[in-house]
Amino acid sequence: MNVFPPSVSLEFARHKTAPPLKTSDATEPATLSSSDSLEVTKFVAALVCSHTTAPLPVREKLAIEPDKAGEFYARLRAIPGIEETVVLNTCNRVEIYVVATGTAEQTLCDNILQGLAGFRSLATGVVAAHCRWLTSDAVIRHLFHVTAGVDSQMVGETEILGQAREAYADALVRKSSGATLNRIFQKSFQAAAWAHTHTLIGRGQVSIGNVAVELATRIFGKLGSCRVLVLGTGEVGRKTAQAFASRGAPSPSVASRTFENARHLAESISGNAIPLELALSSFNKFDIIIGSATASSPLITAASVHDTIQARAGEALFLIDLGLPRNFSPDAGTIPGVYLYNLDDLSTIANENLRTRQASVELAKKSLDEKASRLMKRLSQSTGDGQAIASCVNTP
């Protein structure tokens, strides 16, 4: 990646090795006597892979393509014991929430791990090394943190709330979520709204779009003469395109495999819709390219970027890769004149002002945890069918 002029100081986070998968020890497991050690109650659990457990190259391998979501849900429903499930699949996380009964916790964990690994053609051990297994109120606390944005790479961002709502709505359509997960997810949305209303966790530039625009102005100055191309029409790409349009980028071009989607987004930002094939063959005409398309391999390679830079006669090219898997070859960032930033890079920059908001973040986490504990207590007393929710850990 090229560095900015001396006046711009950017520091990038190093990925730490994720801890091996283990059952969450955030709460005490339910204690069972020897006489009922084989009796298993209904419990809530989650397999979590996110930016906190896996680097970008691993996350992009685990990402589930939208057109394969139905197949993955079918695989989950085939696992013994699962009664409800919601899959939260975003650019920074793959999380599988389940309610189960009639199975041991470790067995369920192993089955879900094997199911995800097999679905993504990865070794189970590789997936396990970059996941966490949560049960009981640890699940609720985690989801509350996620929807409120305090577990996000860009702490305090609000895009994740919309993504969680979409994931939940999708599970409802598939008749995969039931009474317990319905209540947990709905309460998480309420908790997120409370956190953003009553704390300062969202103060400052904490969206990918805002950060990308700020970087663009550092490179090009004013955006009035910049030519912007948006690849893909997903929520993150859409909001980033809107951020550029609102800051003066004239008539951004939008390209998508589905032209109608491109046209709809282009109209909302006073831009132009173009076919994806045309955009990829003529991207040398653009100064800023936002990649947010669903693609199994890079849409723009380092070789094509090299040719483009030569044709641009020294003009800078800003590539913003919001895709997972990535839209641009990582090697393109080593080419002189190219500024390539991915999700991890943008998140690090966004969190430069986190220190000033840390007190608000801690207050939000404490309040969210209290709300999660109260919800778990009510769920433990009685679910819709009168069966207790508990952690399914057999303690000797």
Question: Which residues belong to the active site?
Answer: 91
Task: Residue count of the chain, please give it.
Answer: 396
| d(C-alpha 161, C-alpha 5), whole Å | 36
Q: Are 286 and 227 in contact (CB under 8 A)?
A: yes
Query: Which amino acid is located at 37 in the chain?
Result: S
- What 8-state DSSP symbol labels residue 389? B
**In 199-287, alpha helices (H):** 208-220, 235-246, 259-268, 276-281
Among 241, 282, 278, 284, which residue's Cα sits nearest to residue 257?
278
| d(C-alpha 201, C-alpha 156), whole Å | 5
Cis peptide bond N-terminal to 325, omega within 30: yes
Name, in order, each residue with C-beta under 8 angstroms of 249's C-beta and a sequence gap of 6 or more.
223, 224, 226, 228, 288
Backbone angles phi, psi at 318, to 5 degrees: -105, 115
Query: Which amino acid is located at 100 in the chain?
Result: A
Kindly state the tokens that stand for 42. 């209904």
Instruction: Find tokens 């209904």 and name the residue.
Output: 42
Kindly state the tokens that stand for 204. 């400052």
| d(C-alpha 289, C-alpha 306), whole Å | 15
| d(C-alpha 383, C-alpha 180), whole Å | 7
β-strands 228-231, 253-256 pairing:
parallel
**Strand-by-strand arrangement of the 82-89 sheet:** 82-89, 93-100, 43-50, 132-135
| d(C-alpha 6, C-alpha 4), whole Å | 6
